[in-house]
Structure 1
C-alpha cells in the first residue's frame, strides 16, 4: 500500500520526519518497506514565460525563444515544438538540470544558435496524458492549459515539481493478510493516530441529493446467494458529465499508484484508496429491467470484461447481473457491456461486500487479480459499504459531475453484530512478561478505536482479526512498544523448554549409531498385511492383530505395523536392488499394538537395526547393540540363544535381556526371509523395545576415582562341555569371586587334541584388585580357587 503523506495529513497530524515516522510505524506493527519522494529526479527545472519567438536561421521548423525564467535576464532557448506562443508559461530545464531517467540538460548550440536549456513536455517530466488531460501530448507542456494549474497563478522562476504537485512523500507499507483495513488511507491514518497518540480527524460524508425520484423507484436489488454477498449497497447519479478529475484528485491517485481516467472512474478508485472499500460504477442504461441480481453464473455464461477479454464463467463464480445477463464479475472486474463512456447519462454506484474465499477462487480461475479482488479476498468490513457509497456521491456533488438521486439501496443479508472479547489484564501481562496497568491497557485500546464496556471489549467491525485475548495482548504489546518489553521467561509452572529424557536418549542413540556407520531412515507406520507373510510370522501370532486404517490409500498401507522389522527389510531390499554393496541402517520406529477396551493403540518406539555387506556378521551386530546399551547406561545385559523366531536363522539369533526384562532380539535373518525380499546375501537385524530399554538404565553415571592400588592378574583355562556358553562361564566366575574380581576377559577357545571329544577349553584373564590395600598373592589365589570351585560344582568345568 502506497500512502501519500499529503493525503494522510487530512486525517491526522504527523510532525515526524520520514525516518521517525517509518521507524515508529514499523515498531507499532505496520511494516514500512521504503519511502519515495516524488520529483527528486527533476532538478533545476522552473517555470518560464515565452517573451519572444523567431524562426531559427538554419531550420524551417525550429524556433529561437527568449524566455523569462526568473533569473533577471531572459534566456535564449531553441525548441522544435510548434504549439508554443508568446506569453505561454512552460517548464524550462536550465543549464545543468536533470530530468527523469537520468537525462542531463546543459547549455549548447543547435545548428549554430546558442540554447541555454530546454522547454519540456509533460512526458519529459515523467508524466502522462492521464496526469494532464488538457495538454498536448506531442508538444511543450503549456502550464496554463490546465485550469487547476492556471488557478495557482504560476510565475517565472517557480519550481516546477512543487507546482505540479511532485513534492509528495510516498510511504510504501507491507500490509499483512490479516489487516485488510490498512489497505486504505483511513486505515493507516488510524494506525498513525494510535502510534503517535494524535487525534483522528474523520469526515462523515454528506450528500444533498435532489428532489426528484427515489432510487427505489428506478432500481431493484436482489441477492440470491447471501452467503457470498453479505451486503450490497447502491446509489444512482443522473445527468452525469464525464470529464477529467480535478488536479488534487489526480495528484492523490498518481501518488497512490493509480492512473487517473475520468471523474466517475476516478471517484470509485479514490473511495477504494481512502476507505478501503472497492467501488464499481456502471452505466444504468445497460441494466436491463432496472434490476440488479447478485447470483452465481449459469453454466456456459460468458462476459467480456473491461480489459476487452471474453471470460467463460462457471457456476461457482459470483456475478452482478441484470434480468438477463452478467454485467460484472463480483469483486473482480466490471463488464464491458456496462462501461462508463462519454455519453453515459445515469450511473449506478455499487458498494458491496463479498465472501473473500469466493473472490479469491474466481480471480485465480479467471487469471485476473485486480486491486479490488486483492482487497476482497482478505475479508473486508461489511459496515464500510454504506460509507463508501456515500463518499462517492459526496464527491460527485463536490466535482459537479452529476445529480445524486435520493435514497440508498442497502441490502443486508448477514448478522452485523459486533464481536466482543473479555479484557483480562493479568493473562495479558503473563503472556507478554510485562507489568502494564489496566488503565494503560484501556487507554491503548481506545486509541485503536476499541470500545470498552466494563471488562468487555467491543471490537471494531474493521478488525476481523481480533477474536481472542491473545489478539488483545498483541495490540497492547505493539502500542506499549516491543522494544520496552523486558526479556523474561514466560510466567507459569512450566517456563523453561528443553528436550525430554526420552528425546535426549533418542538423540544420544542416533549420534552413537551414526558414529558407528549406521544411517538413519524414516519409514511409514502403515504397512500391508502381506508384510507379515514375508517375515514368516505365524498365522496365530499376536503381532498379526493390527489396528486397521478406516480410509487407507490402498491395500499396501491398510494396517498400522506391530513390528518395525518389515519396514527395515523393505528399505534394505531396496538398497540391495539398487546394487549398493553394503548398507547399515537404523530407525527409532513407532509400532502400534491394540489394547483391549481402548479405542487408541499402545504406541511404542522400537530401535530397529539392519545391515548387510562386507564387515557385517552376527558378532559385529552384537557389538553395536552392546555399545548402544553401554552408552545408555543399561546394566546387567545378558544375551541368550534363540531358535524359535521364524524370521531369524535358528542358529544365529539371540534375545537381549537386562535385569531379567526382555528387550528384543538380534541375529541373522533366515535364508527364506531374505529370499522373500529378493536378497541373495547374509542380512542381519536387531529389534529392541526402546521404552523397556530406557526403563533399565542405571540412572546417572557416577564418577569413580582412579584406583590407588595395583591390580593382580590371573589366567585360567577350564575344560567344559561344548554346549556351555561363554556367558554362563562368565556369570559363574563373577558369582564365585569374593569381592576382589574387577574384570573378566575371554581370550581363547580351543577344541581338539588333547581336549576330549565333546569338550572345549575356554581361557579367561581375571583382574583382581582391592580399593583399600595392595593384594598379596595368597589373597588373589584364594579368589581364584573360589571361582574354580564354583565352576566345577555348577558347570562341571575343571581347570585344564
Structure 2
C-alpha cells in the first residue's frame, strides 16, 4: 500500500521527519518497505501561463509560445498538440532538471529560440499507468487557479514523500489513509481529525430515482445506497488527482475518482452505477446461475455460477459483487443520475470469485480480508459530502440500508496483571487505557482491569491477548527489558499414543511388515470399489473445496482403499509379495459437531504372498498382546469388502475394535488384483484408551497342570468364540489355558459340519489337582456345548 504523507497530514498533524515517522510506525507494527519522493530530481520547474501562440515560421508542427513564468516572460517552442492561450502548465526553465536527471537548456528549434520546455506527467516522473488518459500524449494542463511561478513540486505535492507499507492480512483497517492516520496518531500521541460525514441532502427524495434494494444472497450481509442527481461529469480537482496518482490509481473523472478516493481514504470499496441504465430502477443482490454471463468494466465476458455474488437490476446482472462492476452500467460523460453502492460481502466468497477469474482488484483485495460492517454507510455518506463540496452533484433525500446479519458489539476484559506478566512490564491501568484510546478503543475500569469496547473496524481483536499485543506495540516492544523465562520445568516425554504406536511398529517389523504412507484424500469412486453399501456411514465424507482433482476430492473415511491401492500396484509390478501397514487419520462428519469433520486415527494392515488368514489373525493377537489389552473375541464379519467366510470382527469387552480378513473376490477385481490379499483396519485410538502399561508378574505356579482334549462336530456356522465362551465360563479359576488345535472338514463329516478339537489346561496355585476336581467342569462344558450349540462329542 502507498501512503502519501501529504494526504496523511490532513487527518494527523504530524511534523516529524519522514525517516523518523517510518521508523516509529514500523516499530509499532506497520512495516514500511520503502520511502520515495517523486519530485526529488526535479529542479527549476514552475507553473507558467501561455500568453500567446504563433505558428513557427519554418515548421508546420511547431508553435511559438510567449509564456509568463512569474518573475519573467519567456519564449518556448513546442510541438505539444494540446496547448492553448491561457493554459496553465509546468515549464522547465533554462538549466532545469527533470525526472531521471535529464537537463533542459535554452536552444534554437528550427532557428527560433526556445528558453525552456513544457512538461508532461512522464517527464515529471509519473508512471504511465497512473496518468490520466487525456494527458498521455500531451503536456500537463493545470487548473487556471494555480498561481503562476509556483514550483511544480508544491502544486503536485511532489515535495512530500510517499511511504510503501506492507500490511498484514489481519489488519484490513490499515489498508486506508484514515487507518494509517489512526496508527500514526496513536504512535506519536496526537489527536486524530476525522473526515466530515454529515450529508447535506437536497429536496428530491431517493424514491423518485430508485425503487429499493432486495438482498437474496446469503453472502451479502449489508447493502447501503444513496442517489446523486444533476451530476456534472468533469475532471477532478488537482489535489484529488495528486492523491490518487501518488496512491497508484489513475484519475478518470470526478465521480469515479471520488469512489476511488473514498476507498483509499476509509478502506471501503464503493461503486457508482449510472441509474439511467439500471432497469426497473432497483437493485437485486443474488448468487449467479450456472452458465450466466456478465461483461465487466474491463470488457471481458465472465461466466459465473451459483458461488459468485451478482449485483443485478430488474432484468440482468450489472456487477460482479466485491470484484468489478459491469460494463453496461458504467459512469460516462453523459451520466446524470448515479446510484452509490456501499456493501458488505462475504470475504471467502469474494476471494474465491477473484481467484477463479484471476481478477484481483483494489476492491477484492479489501473485501477478501473482511470489512467493517459500519463502513458501508460511512463511505457512501463521505462520498456524498465530497460530491456536494466539489459541486459535482446533488444528494437525494434519504437512503436505502438493508442488513441480513447482525454484528453485536464486542467487549473484552483486559487484566492488568495478565498483561504485565505477558509483556514483562509494569504498566498502570491508566497507561494501558491511554494506549487503547489512541487506537479508538474505549475502556472503563472493572474488576482489576479494563473493560474494552472493540470498535467495528477492528475485527481482528477477539481475545484478551489481542489487547495485550496492542498495549505492547504502542509501549514499544523494543522498550521492554529482556527478562529470563519464568515457569516450572517439566520432564518431557512422548504422549501415550506415540509410545503405543512405537511398540506396535516393533511388533509389525518383527513379523515382516513394512510401513507405507498414503494421502489423506482420495476419490469418492473408492467406495464403490470397496463394495460398500449405499447407506454405509463410510460414504459420509468431507469434500474438499479446492481439490487437486477428482482422484483427490474427498477426505478418506477408511484406510483400506489406500492399502489396497498399494497392494495392487505392487502386484501389478510383479512383486512376489508385499506386507505393509499404515497409521493414519480418517475424517468423518459428526452431526453433533455442527458438521465439522472429526479426525480419528486408525491402523491398517495389508499383505499378499505365502501367508494366509491365520497369519493375519496371529498378527492382530500379537498387537493386542503388546498393548496389554489381553483377551479379544472374534466374531464373523459382514463387511462388503471382506470374504464372508474368512473374515472376523474384533471385540474387547463388548466393543468393536475393527475388522480383518481376506479381501472379497469382487473387490480384488475392482482393484485389478489376481492373487488373494488380506487386510485389517483397527481403531488405534480405542487401543490407546484400553492400553495397560503396567507389567505385572504372574507366578507360574509349582504344581503340575492337568490337561483335557475335547472334540465336537459342530454346525459350519457355529463360531469358535461361542465354544471358547462356554469353556471359559465353566472352567472358572482353575482353567489356566485354552487352545484350538484342530479344525477338520472331510469325507467322514457332513458337508455343512466341521470338527473342532481343543486343549484345556487346569492348574491350582496351592495344591496338585485331582481328576475329581475338574471333571464336573468338563462335564458341564460338554453338556452346554451339546445343548446350546448342538455339538456332537467325538470319541478320543
State if a TM-score over 0.5 links the two structures.
yes
| 8 A Cα contact 2:132 2:250, kept in partner | no
| Structure 2 counterpart SS, 1:124 | helix
Q: 2:362 aligns with which of 351, 363, 371?
A: 371
Whole-angstrom CA distance in 1 between matches of 2:362 and 2:570: 54
Q: Map of 1:138-153 to 2, 5 A cutoff?
A: 138-141=137-140, 145-147=141-143, 150-153=145-148
Q: Map of 1:233-248 to 2, 5 A cutoff?
A: 233-248=224-239
- CA-to-aligned-CA distance 1:106-126 (integer Å, 9 cap, x gap): 666656777665443344334
- State the match for 1:193 in structure 2: 185
Q: 1:217 Cα deviation (Å)?
A: 4.5
Q: 1:9 Cα deviation (Å)?
A: 0.6
Whole-angstrom CA distance in 2 between matches of 1:330 and 1:484: 45
- State the match for 1:759 in structure 2: none
- State the match for 1:174 in structure 2: 166
- State the match for 2:384 in structure 1: 393
Judged with a 3 Å threshold, the aligned counterparts in structure 2 of structure 1 residues 482 and 71 are, in CA distance, closer, same or farther, namely same
- State the match for 2:8 in structure 1: 8
Whole-angstrom CA distance in 2 between matches of 1:399 and 1:431: 51
Q: 1:187 Cα deviation (Å)?
A: 1.0
Q: 1:472 aligns with which of 442, 467, 478?
A: 467
| 8 A Cα contact 1:69 1:92, kept in partner | no
Q: 2:312 aligns with which of 318, 321, 325?
A: 321
| Structure 2 counterpart SS, 1:351 | strand
Q: TM-score, normalised by structure 1?
A: 0.61
> Is 1:439 aligned to 2:430, yes or no?
yes
| 8 A Cα contact 2:28 2:476, kept in partner | yes
| Structure 2 counterpart SS, 1:230 | strand
- State the match for 1:33 in structure 2: 33
| Structure 2 counterpart SS, 1:423 | strand
Judged with a 3 Å threshold, the aligned counterparts in structure 2 of structure 1 residues 502 and 228 are, in CA distance, closer, same or farther, namely closer
- State the match for 1:668 in structure 2: none
Q: 1:191 Cα deviation (Å)?
A: 1.0
- State the match for 1:714 in structure 2: none
- State the match for 1:617 in structure 2: none
Q: TM-score, normalised by structure 2?
A: 0.61
- CA-to-aligned-CA distance 1:615-662 (integer Å, 9 cap, x gap): xxxxxxxxxxxxxxxxxxxxxxxxxxxxxx9869x9xxx99x99xxx9
- CA-to-aligned-CA distance 1:538-596 (integer Å, 9 cap, x gap): xxxxxxxxxx9956999xx98779xxxxx99999999999899xx9x99997999xxxx
- State the match for 2:216 in structure 1: 225
- State the match for 1:420 in structure 2: 411
- State the match for 2:120 in structure 1: 121
Judged with a 3 Å threshold, the aligned counterparts in structure 2 of structure 1 residues 498 and 67 are, in CA distance, closer, same or farther, namely farther
Structure 2 alignment gaps of length 5 or more: 506-513, 522-535, 542-550, 587-599, 606-612, 631-672, 676-686, 696-796
| 8 A Cα contact 2:39 2:99, kept in partner | no
- CA-to-aligned-CA distance 1:162-203 (integer Å, 9 cap, x gap): 333322311111122211111111111111111111111113
| 8 A Cα contact 1:432 1:485, kept in partner | yes
Whole-angstrom CA distance in 1 between matches of 2:122 and 2:112: 25
> Is 1:449 aligned to 2:445, yes or no?
no
| Structure 1 counterpart SS, 2:123 | coil
| Structure 2 counterpart SS, 1:147 | coil
| 8 A Cα contact 1:489 1:495, kept in partner | no
RMSD of aligned Cα (Å): 5.7
Whole-angstrom CA distance in 1 between matches of 2:263 and 2:324: 14
| Structure 1 counterpart SS, 2:124 | coil
| Structure 1 counterpart SS, 2:212 | strand
Q: 1:399 Cα deviation (Å)?
A: 0.6
- CA-to-aligned-CA distance 1:335-387 (integer Å, 9 cap, x gap): 22221122211111111211112222222333322211211111111111111
Q: 1:431 Cα deviation (Å)?
A: 3.3
Judged with a 3 Å threshold, the aligned counterparts in structure 2 of structure 1 residues 237 and 498 are, in CA distance, closer, same or farther, namely same
| Structure 1 counterpart SS, 2:339 | strand
Whole-angstrom CA distance in 1 between matches of 2:563 and 2:333: 76
- CA-to-aligned-CA distance 1:371-412 (integer Å, 9 cap, x gap): 112111111111111111111111111010111111122223
| 8 A Cα contact 1:294 1:319, kept in partner | yes
Judged with a 3 Å threshold, the aligned counterparts in structure 2 of structure 1 residues 423 and 96 are, in CA distance, closer, same or farther, namely closer
| 8 A Cα contact 2:89 2:142, kept in partner | no
Q: Map of 1:551-590 to 2, 5 A cutoff?
A: none
| 8 A Cα contact 1:216 1:409, kept in partner | no
Q: 1:299 Cα deviation (Å)?
A: 4.4
| Matched positions, count | 606
